[in-house]
Structure formats: C-alpha cells, structure tokens
Structure 1
Amino acid sequence: MTTTQGAGDPLHQLLSRPLVPLRPHWRSTRQQNLLAEARAVQASHGKDAYWEWAAGHLRWMQPWTTTREGHFPNFRYFVGGRLNVCDNCVDRHVDDPARANKPAIIWEGEPGEVVRWTYAELRERVARFANALKSLGVRRGDVVAIYLPNLPESFVAVHACNRIGAVYTILFAGFSPEAVALRLQAARAKVLVTADACWRRGKKVPLLGNARKARPSAPALETIVVIDRCATKPELDAGEVAYETLMAAHPADCPCEPLEANEPAFLIFTSGTESKPKGVVHSAAGFLLGAWANVLWQVGPDDADLYWCAADIGWLTFPIHVVIGGLAHGTSLLCYEGAFDTPVKDRFYQIIARHQVTKILSAPTALRMLRSLGDEAARAQDLSRLKLITVQGEPLDPDTFDWTVQTFDVPVINAYGQTETGSTWTLPVYGVEPLKAGSCGTPVPGHDYEVVDDTGQPVPRGVKGNLVLKDPFPTLARTIWDDPDRYVSAYFTRFPGRYQTSDEAIVDHDGHLWVLGRADDVINVAAHRISTMEIESIVCAQPGVADGAVVGVNDALKGTVPVAFVILRAGADVAAVQAQVDAAVVDGIGAIARLSRVYVCSALPKTRAGKTMRRLLREAAETGNIRGDTTGLEDLASLGAVLKAVADA
C-alpha cells in the first residue's frame, strides 16, 4: 500500500505546488476570530471541549450530563441532553424579530417560476405538515420516506419529521421504481411523500407513477402524500392523499418534540452495486451540530449572503449545507430544481446573476462544465457579488482550480467528507487559511486522522496509505439500519479503534491532506500500484480535454490497465487529442501507466450531484455493456454515448 513519491512523478509535482495565499478581499475577520477561539478551546481542553463550544451556539431544551461516552464503535454525545432540530433550524430564527421575515428559501423551478419563503412562512408550513403527519398515524421513531427533487416542500417534509421525532429518509428523485421499492422496504417506511412529477431536462419525471409501482413491495407503507408539482391534478388511488388537502385541514400550531441527543434523526442509503441497500443512520443532535460546524468553516455564512448549494437533495451534501446546516445559521438559501444546462447551456451563470448569489457549493464536475463553455460565457453575466466557490464529492484537478480562481477571483475551497462522516472535516477554512490546488487542506477543529500502512502503522509525509479517523465526533454515523454488525465490520474491523474511510491519501510537506480516491481505485499494473487520480489529473489537464475520467480494467497480461474516457473541447481533433493524452501520461508517469485506450465520448455518466460514475465506465470498457446499478444516474443517454465510444474504438 505505501509508496514513496519521487521528485519527478506527477503526484509529487502536485504535492509540491505552492500555497495560494488569501487575497485581501477574500479574508474574513469574523471567521478568523471564531477559528482562533475554537482552536484555543480545543488546545486547552481537548476535542470534546470544542464540541461543547459548538453546542453552545444551538438551543437546547434540556442540558446534557456527559459530553461523550465510549469510543469506536459504540459512542454517544451530549448524553441526556434534549433538543429539536426543527426548533434550531426554523423556530429559533422566527423567535428573533430581526430574522423572522428574512428570506429562508428562494426557489427556482426548471421552467423558470420563482418562490420565496421567509423563516416565518417556512415555520407555518412545517407546523401544518407536522400535524398532518400525526393525523396519518406517524409517531416518534416511525419512518417517513421523502421521494422528491429540490422543491420547497422538501424542506417542509424534512422539518415536519424533525418537529415530531419521525425518522426521515430522502430517496433520490431519479430512482427507478425498483430502487424506490428496495429502500421503502428496507426502511419500513410508514408514509411516503412524493409529487405527481418533476421537471428534469425539459421532461416530466413520473414520481407518482414510480411510487405506485414500488408500493406493492413495501408492506409497511400505509399512505402516499402527493404534491401537485406539475399541476396535473392526478386522480388519487386508495391510500393516497393530496398534500394541499392536508395542509388546508391542519393548524399551524405544533410544538417541537424534545429529542434525546442520540436518537436517530434520519437514514440515508448509500449508492453502489450491493443487492441490499445500506441505510446509514445519523443522530439528531450529532448531525445538527456537525452540519452547523461544517457550514461555519466551509462557507462562513453572514446575514448578507445568498448561498446556493448546487446539488440534489438526494446527495447528503444538500441536507448538510442547506436543509440542516444552512438553516441552522439562519442563512438565505437558493434552491434550484432542474439541470444546470437546461434550457440553455449557461443556465448556471444565469441563476447566479438573476438572484445575485454570493456563495456556491458544487461538485468539481460543474466547474469543468462551466470551463467548457469558455470564458466569454462567464463574462456575459453579472457575477460581481460572488465571494466563494467550494467543491466536494470527487477529486479537484489543479487546472480546474486555477481556471476557477482566475476567472471568478474567489477562493476555491476543496473539502472532503463521506456519507458516513455526515460532514466534510478537512478543508482550508473560508476566509482564513491559504489554499492549495487539489488538496483538502487540514482538519477543522474536532477531528483527527492518520494515514497508515496495511498493518495500521502511520506512514511519513509524502507516502501513500490508508486514511483513518482516530477519534469519534458527533456527526459520524451511529449504525446501519437493522444491521449493526455490518456497521462494525464495514468501518471498524480492519483498523481496530479507528474509523476506516476506505480511501487512500497522502500528506504533503505543508501538512495538507490529499485524498486520492477509493482504495479500490488504486490499480495494480504489472505489480506497480498507481492511483487513477494521478493519471486522471494529467488527462484532464490537456488543452483539448473538457472533462475526463480514468478507470482500471482487467488485463490478461498485466492484471489491470488504465483506460481514459474524455469529452473534447469544441473544435478539438479526436486523433490529435488521443495521441496527446496518451503521450502526456507516459511523459508524466512513465510507460508503466500507458493508457490502454482513450475513448472519446459526448457525455460521461454522472449523478445529479455531478460525480462521475466510474464503475459504469469500468463495466463498459470491460464488457461492452452496462448492466450494473444505474439508479443514481442523471442522464440515461450518457450510457449510450459511452457504449458507442467503446464500440467505435
């Protein structure tokens, strides 16, 4: 596993890039003071004291007796303390006269309609729907599934569950009926909240139709609540009820239920190819606290901000940064329903300009998409209020970092976390710390990690290894729904006493952490271990390449060989780019990393979060077909583009 980087290889060159100091207008005195205070608390009294400091910024209904009990895998935080997530995200702000009428949500639908809700309006709707759920028999601990895209009603559904202590699970709106059925069954959901349909790339996605197909496989499901998003006025079947009818029938007075800090708040199913979905469970106070801290350090929200998390609610980043973390700060939040390039390619820029967005979170893929539009598209819109772009979800290549900083004159913060960690925990703190293109910065307070070899021993800086977390923290997942043994075996068995991320990482000479990707994305080529991220960084840096991905495929002689899938920039010559990419990889790493194929395609398979689905690329290259799980896919047409590229090669 461990590999020392030589001075001539491309990864060493990445690690050796200089720190990018903050420009004066990027700095935040408020953030600097908060970070200094938090670090002083941790330095004097330890990480648990830091979490007490963070918890002091929230509203508790009953104080805790013990800050932390236990260690991996059995631990609890703020034992005996009681609070309510909805109270902290909604009611707490309405109780403040200065914030009650502040915009909470500004929503834009793909067809172009705009809705604005204040915090007071949001509380009224949440309370009504909380009473509606209770009228449907939902009680504390019951599971409510939310099969919705980015709609204002999605916020209502989540916080109505938080208000009464129901456990919610958000199902990606792009899921097929089969994928919905599996998750409804695994969660034992009692109520499903969905819509007649939603808009995606100019077409209606039949959410209600999919839910009806899934229902026979979910015996615990009693009621489907239907929002008339597309004004189709659907005729409802037995066991279905209109959202609008429920809202009109119930009062806007519903007290928040005090929840013990470690009670389950929600579960989220991880994506992948496993036949049984894995429902990761997060706790009420832990997730709230972690999300609040995550947004504080990564975004540094202030009262003048309009923050756009350009992600899908089905990606945990959206609940962290918007539905929970963003609202916990009393931030004004932009929410967009549709695709970034519909009906025009520069819709992303138009949204920023129309609403005067100040801060954005996206996946790196979104930045590569913007770069492919050319610099003129960026200059055509008023982006003058933009102060921050932050990314996460997949590696950020340095060329995209450089282009983004130069084009928008804003800091680009690259953060790292996982579904299981419930937040990003290593990043350069917004407005305070210097940046480095492609790195994930250093841990924010409350977290500590090691990079270890396969025996669990720490490795020196500049040496690759396994990334593990040394101590618990409140926002870490507490179990797997109905399968606690799987929780222990998946995360705590290989390196006892530590949390196993299953990611490979390396620390550079500045102490910055570089996450190289899943450990199983490190390929063995003729007994040489090579990270696909190293190769991919070179591929994406070539002038004719707009976007790209590298995967390892089986080879009878070498065991595994790398192949690249690329999308070309306008006007680029196919043969020339293929030759250029191939030569650049050999020059940068050596002949051992030579690409077996360079496939040129018109689209790559991505999730709505913008992550490239590399396992589908691997399957296409190896078999010429794709039969794996495609439930998280943004655009099915991209599979045809990939298969055509493989067939034509």
Structure 2
Amino acid sequence: MTDQHGTIESHPLRHGEEAETYPPRPEFRAQANVNDSSVYWRAAEDPEAYWADQARRLKWSKPFTEILDWSNPPFAKWFADGELNVAANCLDRHVAAGLGDRVAIHFEGEPGDTRTLTYAELTHEVKRAANMLTSLGVTAGDRVAIYMPMIPETVIAMLAVARLGAAHSVVFGGFSAESLRARIDDARAELVITADGGYRKGRASALKPTVDDALALETGGEPSVQRVLVVERTKNEVAMVPGRDLWWHEEITAFDGDHEPQGFPAENPLFILYTSGTTGKPKGILHTSGGYLTQVSTTHRNVFDLKPETDVYWCTADIGWVTGHSYVVYGPLANGATQVIYEGTPDTPDWGRWWSIVQKYGVTILYTAPTAIRACMKVGRQVPEQYDLSSIRVLGSVGEPINPEAWRWYREIIGAGSAPIVDTWWQTETGAIMISPLPGLTSLKPGSAQVPHPGIDVNVVDEAGNRVDRGQGGLLTIRRPWPSMVRTIWGDDQRFIDTYWAKFGDQYFAGDGARVDEDGDVWLLGRVDDVMNVSGHRLSTAEIESALVEHHAVAESAVIGAHDETTGQAVVAFVILKSQQTLLAPDDAEQALKQHVASQIGAIARPRQIFVVSELPKTRSGKIMRRLLKDVAEGKEVGDTTTLADTAVMQTISARMREGTR
C-alpha cells in the first residue's frame, strides 16, 4: 500500500501479523550523510580502520598511531598514544574555522526567559570558567561533582572541567541527599558545582539545600569536598558556608577568556556517571576521551543526518543522564551543531510547550523518549496540531523500546507523515548509539531498533552463548570492542568484569533481551530482569506493554511479573486510558484488554489482572519504576519513592489495587 509520502511495504512478523516498513524517500536519501549501504560491509571487514577514519575528523594535538589495544580484555584502549582536548574539539576548533558567530545554544528557561550563545560566546565562557576552576585547585585527574538544572552554566561547567583534563560526575538534580553523598564519596570529588535551584512544573525547586544536607551526612570517612560553587538561577535564599561556598557569578568576574587548551591522552578519564546496580550500590561508569568523542560525534552526525549549517537540533534529555552527556553536550558540540536546551517539563504551562519551542526555533531534529511521546498521545493530537511543526525532518527515540502505536503517532502527528524515526538502542555503559536505523538507508519498521551502526558487532544468543535462530528471543551481546565503551567501574575492576563479562567471557552482555527477525532487524525485548517466567514460558514485559498500547483506547501501560503460586509468575498490567477515548469504560477495560493481549500474543500472555490508573510511577527522566509496581502487586511494602517525579502516585495506585481486589 502507498501513502501520500512514499511507499509502505509489508513484511511478515510473528503470529501472522504483517509489519509495515517505510523506505527512505528518494529526496531524503539523495541528501543523506550516509546513503551508500557499502558502509556496513566495509566497516565489518575492518572495523578498526573505520573507527580510525572517524577519529581523524577530530583535532588531535598529538596524532594517534595505535587504534585498538585489546591485549588485556575486557579493558580496552582506543587511540592510546594520541592526545586531544575534548573541550577544544567542541569549541575552539569551530571558532578557528570561522564559525564563531554560529549559534551553539538556544536556551529556553521554563519561566520563559531565554538566552542565546554563539560558539564564540560559549568558548569565551568556558575559558573563563576553566580559569576559575584552576584558581580553586582543579587539575588534571581530579573529580568534580555537578548537581545542576538544565541551564547553560551546566554545559559550561562540564566543558570547563573537561578542558582541564579533570573528570566530572554529573548527578541528576532529582536525586536525594543520600544518593548525592554516595556519588560524591565514591568519586572522591573535591569540588561540587551546584545552583540555588531550578524551575520545574511552574515553581522554583531548591538544589543547594540538598548539597548542604549531603555534605552534612556522617559516612564514617574523611570528607573529600573542599569547595562548593553555586550558580544563581532562582534567587532563592540559600545558606552559604564561609570558607567553603562561593557564588559562581561573583568568582568568575575576576577571570578573562584567555586559556590555552592542553592535550591529554585519549584514555584520560572524561566522566564518571553513576547508574543503579543490583546490589544497591551505584556503579560509577567510567568513560574516557578520544574513543568516546569519536563515537558520539560519528553517531550524532550519521544517525540524525546532521547538517550543522542549517539544522536546529533538540534532545530533550536531562544533562544528568548519559543521553544528556552524549547527545546534548559532547556529540552536538563536537559537530558544530546549533541546539535547543529547555529547562522544564513538557506540560508547563500547558502541553503545548514543546511544540511552541519547535515552532519558535524551527527545530529540525527532535530526539526524545517513548514515555514523553505516549504522554503527548494521551493528551491528544489536537495539541500539537495547533503549532507549525513543518520544520521537523528527523525524529529520534531513546530510553526504551518504542511501541509501534507510539511510533506511528510520532511519525504522523509530529513528523507530518514523512519524517524518518531513528529508534536508538544504547546504554550508559556503551556511551553512544549502538543499534539504530540510518535514515538515508534503512527501511523503517515501527518498534524495531533495526541494525547495528557500522563498526558495531552485536549478537543474540541463548543462555549457553550460542547464536539463536532468526525469530527467536535471546540475550543481546556485543562481540567486539567499540570506541565509546565503558572502561571500568570506577574503583572496582572486579565488579566491572563480574557485571558485564562473566556470563560469556569474551562478549559484553548488555542485560537486555532481543530477537532478530527474518530480515535481520533487531527488536529489543527490554531488560532480562523484565522477562517473566509464566508456567515455563519466557515472556517479555515490553512485548505485552506494546500489545496493550496497540489497543486504540490505551495511552500507556506498564507490565510486571508478580509472584504466583500456581504459575511461578503472573502477568499484571497497569494501563492509562486516553483522555479522549470513548471505546472503553474503566469497568469494562480489564476483560476487553485481557482478550486483546491474548489475541495479539497468545493465551499464555493474558494478564492475570489489569488495573486502570491515572498515572504511572516515573522518575524525573521518564523511566517507569516497575519495581514499585511489583512491590504493590505482591502486597509488599513499597520501596523508596524519593526519585519519583510525583511521590503521591504510588499511594493512588495502592488504593486502586485495594479496590480492585476486594
């Protein structure tokens, strides 16, 4: 069948379904950065040569002669004898090339304040900040903790730290004092950069008091923090500790924009980013400089088909997550992109905020999370249809598998039925995109991350490490080192080996399930710990969630496996119905949706219970906290809710479940 924008083809999927595909439009393919499929086999024949070619696009103060050192697996070294300055690659070289007047950042504050920084202005500010940090004793090899909102000073702080050869540890602004203290202590950070607060959901949210509380906590060890640097954002009254706390705006006035960048080895630590661990102790994921910058800049340019002269790029991720590191700071700025940074939430002051920003700045590339897309679906298409979104030419998705219904809505409503969607799979540990379509080459399939990026070698295996047949589910592994890979867990090499390499030895195990379809496209099935065992059948929560959202009345769903004495685990689902839908009354929804899942996947996947709720428990980055839903479904004490965007959600869900089980 054909739509007005090009051909839609059908391919066999599973359970007799047909998966439609969307080939690149000829006019898009003609202008695409990558439109020759030979890039895949050339990179597969000699991946090291491929990545070396990409690395040479950067400015090296000392060119590398070594590419990959894999003599001590799993500890990789890329371009190890080369030297470069990451910040200078993101800033100085663009100014030197005559691009100083190009806009680097359009900042939009939640209250409506704006600020535009050109590459020359951003470079000037980073140099001043580097001089200020030097005066505070920051040198190469030090660690600096950053706990800030989405404002330009956060980007400036990260780049100033990188410019000095120090490593930053950015901690998401929604974390508690205890979480912040644990991360500061593990990295042994001597300086904390924070702000008085930031704006969120229409009000000023304090940050500095959390830093004070974190530093006041007794941990039994000698505190490492010597100084706290505070950016004034909300003008909240905050307590300043004499001799320790300094105002950014007061300190920086003493410094000019004269700072020569020094080259550092390619394996110099760039940042530590903490991610949750099964033991409860966060894992400090260590990324280094040359290989990381090579892969984030390459994937940013290729996957989003970036044209830095004309594109306006917007990644909605917070700077506290790896997406904010790789695709807000380092990838876009290394490529000389013009980008939007927005401080607040998509619903402040109303659900038109994102679309008004797209219209205002003429955003051409939008990269966001399926959770946000589904939230916009729930509100309805009538909101984005009030705005001119015709500037958009590429759409991206990140954070979790995107269900086909949300994919189609995103393409039709936000992308005017023609913008390609690049559904990207990667992790904090991988550092950069690993599996994704290339929009000038790939025939897109809603719901599939599709193909490994050139130079990346993925495998789907069974528990014994044997490759599974096409159409079968298995475990996703990566067989060859890649430039932006995690180098170790900070301070704990053995934990790094045990966590990622012990299961298959020579293959990195991502912790995700996947299947490869008959065309060779990869479908992510979610975390392996999100795979349920129901009467001996392994079922993916993501697959059942996707089936639920395929129902036209459902806006969003979360599925967990709850303990069941008969079947081992049972499927329990929580769904949000679309606000405008009239197909299902909440009282009728459970039976109708159970039957829908059974018809889509099979009777074994029919949920034991389905609860209609008004909201799901999400962190401020948009991730659904399925662990809390599992606790409440199994009648356990609900765990820590401090990282939730709305801590009252779980009380509401618990009450709804009590009603539903009477």
TM-score between both structures, scaled by the size of structure 2: 0.93
Q: CA deviation at 1:19?
A: 2.3
Structure 1 Cα separation of the partners of residues 183 and 162 of structure 2? 20
Distance change >3 Å, CA 11–CA 635, structure 1 → 2: farther
**Counterpart for residue 600 of structure 1:** 612
**Counterpart for residue 22 of structure 1:** 24
Structure 1 counterpart of 2:535, from 512, 516, 526: 526
Q: Is the 8 A contact 2:561 2:630 kept in 1?
A: yes
Corresponding letter in the other structure for 1:493: A
> What aligned pairs does 1:473-488 form with structure 2 within 5 A after superposition?
473-488=482-497
Structure 2 counterpart of 1:31, from 33, 36, 45: 33
**Counterpart for residue 410 of structure 2:** 404
C-alpha distance after superposition, 1:139-167 (max 9, x if no partner): 11110011012110011000001100011
Structure 2 Cα separation of the partners of residues 286 and 296 of structure 1? 16
Corresponding pairs, count: 636
Structure 1 counterpart of 2:520, from 511, 517, 528: 511
Structure 2 Cα separation of the partners of residues 493 and 617 of structure 1? 30
Is 1:219 the counterpart of 2:220? The answer is: no
> What aligned pairs does 1:145-294 form with structure 2 within 5 A after superposition?
145-217=145-217, 219-232=223-236, 234-238=238-242, 239-271=244-276, 274-294=279-299
**Counterpart for residue 641 of structure 1:** 652
Is 1:611 the counterpart of 2:617? The answer is: no
Distance change >3 Å, CA 445–CA 15, structure 1 → 2: farther
Corresponding letter in the other structure for 1:18: E
C-alpha distance after superposition, 1:24-80 (max 9, x if no partner): 4543534135x5574465255x00000111011110000112111115302211121
Structure 2 Cα separation of the partners of residues 16 and 444 of structure 1? 25
Q: CA deviation at 1:204?
A: 2.1
Q: CA deviation at 1:13?
A: 4.5
Where 2:434 maps in the other structure, the secondary structure is strand
Where 1:231 maps in the other structure, the secondary structure is coil
Distance change >3 Å, CA 625–CA 388, structure 1 → 2: farther
Where 2:532 maps in the other structure, the secondary structure is strand
Q: CA deviation at 1:286?
A: 1.6
Q: Is the 8 A contact 1:371 1:546 kept in 2?
A: yes
**Counterpart for residue 42 of structure 1:** 43
Q: CA deviation at 1:23?
A: 2.4
Structure 2 counterpart of 1:349, from 349, 355, 358: 355
C-alpha distance after superposition, 1:545-592 (max 9, x if no partner): 111111111112211001111111125410122221111112223332
Deviates more, 1:426-435 or 1:390-399: 426-435
Distance change >3 Å, CA 37–CA 289, structure 1 → 2: farther
Deviates more, 1:524-533 or 1:608-617: 608-617
Corresponding letter in the other structure for 1:88: N
Q: CA deviation at 1:235?
A: 4.5
Q: Is the 8 A contact 2:545 2:559 kept in 1?
A: yes
Structure 2 Cα separation of the partners of residues 256 and 613 of structure 1? 42
Is 1:567 the counterpart of 2:579? The answer is: no
**Counterpart for residue 4 of structure 1:** none
Where 1:32 maps in the other structure, the secondary structure is coil
Q: Is the 8 A contact 1:624 1:643 kept in 2?
A: no
Q: CA deviation at 1:236?
A: 1.7
Structure 1 Cα separation of the partners of residues 63 and 406 of structure 2? 46
**Counterpart for residue 83 of structure 1:** 84
**Counterpart for residue 626 of structure 1:** 638
Structure 2 counterpart of 1:296, from 296, 301, 310: 301
Where 2:91 maps in the other structure, the secondary structure is helix
Q: Is the 8 A contact 2:407 2:447 kept in 1?
A: yes
Deviates more, 1:423-432 or 1:148-157: 423-432
Q: Is the 8 A contact 1:280 1:420 kept in 2?
A: yes
Corresponding letter in the other structure for 2:260: P
Is 1:57 the counterpart of 2:57? The answer is: yes
Structure 1 Cα separation of the partners of residues 481 and 278 of structure 2? 28
Structure 1 Cα separation of the partners of residues 17 and 525 of structure 2? 12
Corresponding letter in the other structure for 2:554: V
**Counterpart for residue 340 of structure 1:** 346
Structure 2 Cα separation of the partners of residues 147 and 359 of structure 1? 27
Structure 1 Cα separation of the partners of residues 208 and 489 of structure 2? 28
Corresponding letter in the other structure for 1:361: Y
**Counterpart for residue 4 of structure 2:** none
Structure 1 Cα separation of the partners of residues 28 and 375 of structure 2? 24
C-alpha distance after superposition, 1:184-227 (max 9, x if no partner): 11111110000001111122221000000001347001111001
Q: Is the 8 A contact 2:589 2:612 kept in 1?
A: no
Distance change >3 Å, CA 576–CA 296, structure 1 → 2: same
Q: Is the 8 A contact 2:13 2:517 kept in 1?
A: no
Q: CA deviation at 1:526?
A: 1.4
Structure 2 Cα separation of the partners of residues 12 and 499 of structure 1? 28
**Counterpart for residue 322 of structure 1:** 328
Structure 2 Cα separation of the partners of residues 150 and 509 of structure 1? 42
Q: Is the 8 A contact 1:16 1:508 kept in 2?
A: no
> What aligned pairs does 1:391-470 form with structure 2 within 5 A after superposition?
391-407=397-413, 408=415, 409=417, 410-470=419-479
Q: Is the 8 A contact 1:31 1:432 kept in 2?
A: no
Distance change >3 Å, CA 620–CA 564, structure 1 → 2: same
Structure 1 Cα separation of the partners of residues 39 and 241 of structure 2? 54
Is 1:375 the counterpart of 2:381? The answer is: yes
Corresponding letter in the other structure for 1:289: T
Structure 2 Cα separation of the partners of residues 602 and 382 of structure 1? 30
Deviates more, 1:105-114 or 1:424-433: 424-433
Where 1:74 maps in the other structure, the secondary structure is coil
Q: CA deviation at 1:176?
A: 1.0
Structure 1 Cα separation of the partners of residues 597 and 68 of structure 2? 49
Q: Is the 8 A contact 1:414 1:428 kept in 2?
A: yes
Unaligned runs of 5+ in 1: 1-9
Deviates more, 1:499-508 or 1:569-578: 569-578
Deviates more, 1:173-182 or 1:636-645: 636-645
Q: Is the 8 A contact 2:421 2:439 kept in 1?
A: no
Where 2:20 maps in the other structure, the secondary structure is coil
Structure 1 Cα separation of the partners of residues 174 and 652 of structure 2? 19
Structure 1 Cα separation of the partners of residues 255 and 502 of structure 2? 49
Q: CA deviation at 1:625?
A: 4.0
C-alpha distance after superposition, 1:223-277 (max 9, x if no partner): 1100110123645212000000121011211221211011111000003563311
Where 2:211 maps in the other structure, the secondary structure is helix
Q: Is the 8 A contact 2:377 2:578 kept in 1?
A: no
**Counterpart for residue 6 of structure 1:** none
Unaligned runs of 5+ in 2: 1-11
Structure 1 counterpart of 2:390, from 381, 384, 389: 384
Structure 2 Cα separation of the partners of residues 526 and 420 of structure 1? 33
Structure 2 Cα separation of the partners of residues 445 and 263 of structure 1? 25
**Counterpart for residue 361 of structure 1:** 367
Q: CA deviation at 1:90?
A: 0.8
Structure 1 Cα separation of the partners of residues 624 and 17 of structure 2? 24
Structure 1 Cα separation of the partners of residues 507 and 16 of structure 2? 28
Structure 2 Cα separation of the partners of residues 241 and 104 of structure 1? 28
Deviates more, 1:528-537 or 1:438-447: 528-537
Distance change >3 Å, CA 253–CA 476, structure 1 → 2: same
Structure 1 Cα separation of the partners of residues 631 and 259 of structure 2? 51
Root-mean-square deviation (CA, aligned residues, Å) is 1.8
Corresponding letter in the other structure for 1:582: K
